[in-house]
Amino acid sequence: MAEISANNTIEFELVSPEKLLKSEPVEMVVIPGTEGDVGVLPGHSLLIAAVRPGVIDIHEGGQVRESIFVAGGFAEVSPERCTVLAEEAVPVAEIDRAEAEKRLEDAKQALTKAGEVEDGDTDAAERELKTAEAMLAAASAE
Amino acid sequence: MPNLKDLKVRINSVKSTQKITSAMKMVAAAKLRRAQESAEAARPYAEKMERMVADVGESIGGIEGAPPLLVGTGSTQIHLIVACTADRGLCGGFNGTIIREVRTLAHNLKRDGKIVRILCVGRKGRDGLKRQFEADIVETIEGIGRRGVEFADAQKVAETLTTMFDAGGFDVCTIVFNRFQSAMTQIITSQLLIPFTVPETADDEAGKDSAGAEDTGPSAIFVYEPEEQEILADLLPKNINQQVFQALLESAASEHGARMTSMDNATRNAGEMIDDLTLTFNRTRQAAITRELVEIISGAEAL
């Protein structure tokens, strides 16, 4: 493991297609990778990971300071920087439960519809369903 | 000497034209602000994604069976040019410069014996290129950015691209668009989309970053989760989406900028014209009055 940087923080960047959402030093951040959650501390080895729909937790002093929901994307980690490219990002506190539920319903319908048609694009619908589920789960956990 | 009635009609018509151009300028200025904000806000994502693809590409590039979106099909015979123009005119040299650039590019490629195909985004591009390259235009996508550029618009374009690429429709893809710099200046940019290359601007930045952190240099070995191949399969189409999205955003911002400046010019020109015409109008009126007086006086004297 690489040497821990002097001030004990890692630069965390969260970018969505629309804008740069966050760029700040953090003590630890937990990213929902497709193959399990990844905890990133300063001095993490080089890593590129795919991100599943879920919640990014920013930790400080052993506690979660901030939780942000992301709808999948990619993360690039170097010893002093952690960049997450999210397709969609909303702070968990701002998720509207009713809206998330509606999205889940819509996604379910879209999936059944896509399933009926031959060669329907079930992949996209399935992905949307997973995103909606994760969003609702995030909202419920709050 | 033109008569008074004609002059008056003329002045009124120039005045109403001026009203239209100044209204268009206002609208363009309002739209420009929004378009500029979104274009600039989206830049970091596009740049970071490019860097990430470059990193992954670096470690996988040499391996056989690397995805053709990354390394190309091994041939450079068929070129696809994506021309990003506006659907509407009246924006100065905006569409013209793109058309000219595409034309030169296409001519050069044809001279080298390549096959050129053109995908027009925006109606004006097709109109301008139709005369010379009618047979080469494969598709025209219209109606983008009427209410601000949305990601779905970019997806539509990118999907067209990837489907065509998968079907062997082309080997190399270049996108030509106006990069927004300021309301006055747009930079014509030709960016190679497929196969993937790191554009110079992004390269500079990556260079700066690796200077700050030595261990993220090109030789760095990343751990991948899941496998590189899987990440790339997901990342590459997304990167194309994103690059197209960025190009469309830049193009939209440039369009509004160009329209604003050209409408500003038009308004000013109309103002000058009105001044000139008013002067002629007054002179003619004076002359008519003088002539009438002379007629009356000489008539009275003759009695």
The per-residue pLDDT for range B179-209, each reduced to its tens digit, is 998 888 888 888 888 877 765 544 444 444 4
Judging contacts by C-beta atoms under 8 Å, the chain B residues touching residue A19 are 41-42, 44-45
Q: Which of B45, B235, B245 sits opposite A15 (nearest CB)?
A: B45
Q: How far apart are CA B21 and CA B235, in angstroms?
A: 45
Domain shared by A88 and A100, yes or no = no
Q: Are residues A120 and A70 in the same domain?
A: no
Per-residue pLDDT tens for B37-77?
A: 888 888 888 888 888 888 777 776 566 666 777 777 777 88
End-to-end CA distance of chain B: 31
Q: Are residues A110 and A58 in the same domain?
A: no
Q: B44 to chain A: nearest residue by CA?
A: A20
A99 and A72 fall within a common domain = no
**Alpha-carbon torsion (B180, B201, A76, B227), positive or negative:** positive
pLDDT at site B65:
64
Tokens of B34: 């929004």
Give mean pLDDT, residues A102-110: 83
The CA distance from B114 to B83, in Å, is 18
pLDDT (tens digit, 9 = 90+) per residue, B114-169?
888 899 988 888 888 888 888 888 888 887 767 778 888 888 888 888 888 888 88
Domain with CATH 3.40.1380.10 in chain B: 41-258
Instruction: Name the residue among B42, B49, B225 with its Cβ closest to that of A49.
Output: B225
Is the separation of the CB atoms in B132 and B152 below 8 Å?
no
Kindly report, as residue ranges, where domains of CATH 1.10.287.80 are found in chain B: 4-23+261-302
* A107 shares its domain with A74: no
Please state the φ and ψ torsions of residue A92, each to the nearest 5 degrees: -55, -40
CA-nearest residue to B40 within chain A is A19
A88 touches chain B (CB under 8 A): no
Contact B55, A48 (CB under 8 A): yes
Q: Is residue A1 part of a domain?
A: no
- A78 and A103 in one domain? no
Whether ipTM exceeds 0.85: no
- Chain A interface includes B231 (CB < 8 A): yes
The CATH architecture to which B41-258 belongs is 3-Layer(aba) Sandwich (3.40)
CA dist list (Å): A12 to A24, A30, B61, B77, B116: 5, 11, 28, 43, 44
User: In this structure, is residue A71 part of a structural domain?
Assistant: yes
> From CA B26, how far away is CA B9, in angstroms rounded?
26
Phi, psi dihedral angles at B78 (to 5 degrees): -105, 120
Q: Is there a contact between A50 and B245 if contact means CB atoms under 8 Å apart?
A: no
Task: Kindly state the tokens that stand for B40.
Answer: 């600039």
In-domain check, residue A31 = yes
DSSP assignment letter at A117: S
Q: Does residue A88 sit in the same domain as residue A99? A: no
Give domain status of residue A21, yes or no: yes
Kindly report the nearest CA distance between residue A22 and chain B, in angstroms: 11
Contact state of A83 with B234 under an 8 Å Cβ cutoff: no
Beta-bridge mates of residue A69: A55, A90
- Residue B198: the pLDDT is 63
Establish whether the linkage from the previous residue to A91 is cis, with ω within 30° of 0.
no
- Taking the Cβ of residue B208 and every Cβ of chain A, the question of whether any pair is shorter than 8 Å is answered with no
The structural architecture, per CATH, of the domain B4-23+261-302 is: Orthogonal Bundle (1.10)
**Alpha-carbon span B185 to B257, nearest angstrom:** 8
- The first and second tokens of residue B242, run together, are 């994103």
Asked if B44 lies within 8 A of A15 by C-beta distance, the reply is yes
Structural domain contains residue A3: no
Does residue A44 fall inside a structural domain?
A: yes
**In a domain? residue A86:** yes
Is the distance from CB of B92 to CB of B262 less than 8 angstroms?
A: yes
- Cα distance from A79 to chain B (closest Cα, Å)? 8
Number of domains in chain A: 2
B173 is catalytic: no
In a domain? residue A58: yes
Q: How far apart are CA B242 and CA B235, in angstroms?
A: 10
In terms of residue numbers, what domain contains A104? Answer: 95-141
Same domain, A41 and A28: yes
Question: Residue B152 — left, alpha, or beta (φ > 0 → left; ψ -120 to 50 → alpha)?
Answer: alpha
Q: Are residues A43 and A64 in the same domain?
A: yes
pTM: 0.81
Q: What does the pLDDT look like over B228-286, one tens digit per residue? A: 777 878 888 888 888 888 899 899 999 999 999 999 999 999 999 999 999 999 999 99
The active-site residue out of B84, B91, B120, B173 is: B91
pLDDT at site B13: 95
Residue listed under structure tokens 């239209």: B20
- The answer to whether the CB atoms of A35 and B226 lie below 8 A apart is yes
